[in-house]
Chains A and B, each alone.
Chain A
């Protein structure tokens, strides 16, 4: 259903704007049929990102130990903010690495 606004870059007229802020980038002019990324937390209706839940956080901490940018993961701004502080807390108590090499 969100496929219809792939052509215009980000900004579309008509009934755009809903579908949360999770949709971003991705589309554009280049990769014509790139799938729109959706915020995992919005889709699964997670309201509170718990720093204790390692299983929830690890997909967003790739091998290097850095926090996955939202341009890659497609997480919406609100949730990225929460995710960020959750990861930082988890790092303090060694649930999630600061760096790995």
Chain B
């Protein structure tokens, strides 16, 4: 099987939705995730916040973030369900595994560089070669 992907799902609920309504929707998401054999890594309820712009006539809304491991089909299904739901003002699905990997790599690279720089501080030649190399590496973040 293909290896699971990591997604972040944020949905924005109309402020009229009660606490119960929020947990209800979360349960629905959970059920879909379970059905597709995915996993919810964490759920984060941001509570009610002001919107940057009005949506419909709403000025504030409830935000919920879910981090989900699963397949594309799973997210497709969730999207379909959220699209239909009237309580959901907005939702956003972002695939994050590759971005996080790239970020980790950038971190590791910088760490390595600072180590090296500490090791041979007195050799400017090596240093500029190094930074040229890292600039190259910075270009090709893919894979």
Q: What is the size category of the interface that chain A forms with chain B?
A: 20 to 34
Interface of A is mostly: loop
A10 at the interface (CB under 8 A from B): no
With most chain A CB atoms within 10 A of its CB, the pick from B91, B92, B135 is B92
* Chain B residues with CB below 8 A from A52, complex form: 8, 10, 65
With most chain A CB atoms within 10 A of its CB, the pick from B53, B107, B135 is B53
Q: How would residues 69 to 101 of chain A score, 1 for a CB under 8 Å from any chain B CB and 0 otherwise?
A: 000000000100000000001011111111110
Q: How far is the CA of A95 from the CA of B102 in the complex (A)?
A: 24
**Residue tally, chain B, CB below 8 Å to A:** 30
Given contacts A48-B100, A97-B52, contact A92 B110 (CB under 8 A): no
The answer to whether A94 touches B128, judged by C-beta atoms less than 8 angstroms apart, is no
Q: How far is the CA of A96 from the CA of B99 in the complex (A)?
A: 21
Give the shortest distance, in Å, between B120 (CB) and chain A (any CB).
Answer: 14
Given contacts A17-B128, A78-B138, contact A93 B90 (CB under 8 A): yes
Residues of chain A from 2 to 47 with CB closer than 8 A to chain B in the complex: 15, 17-21, 45, 47
A to B CB contacts below 8 Å, 17 in the list: A15-B124, A15-B127, A17-B135, A18-B128, A20-B131, A47-B103, A47-B107, A48-B103, A52-B8, A78-B138, A89-B94, A93-B12, A93-B63, A94-B52, A94-B55, A99-B53, A100-B53
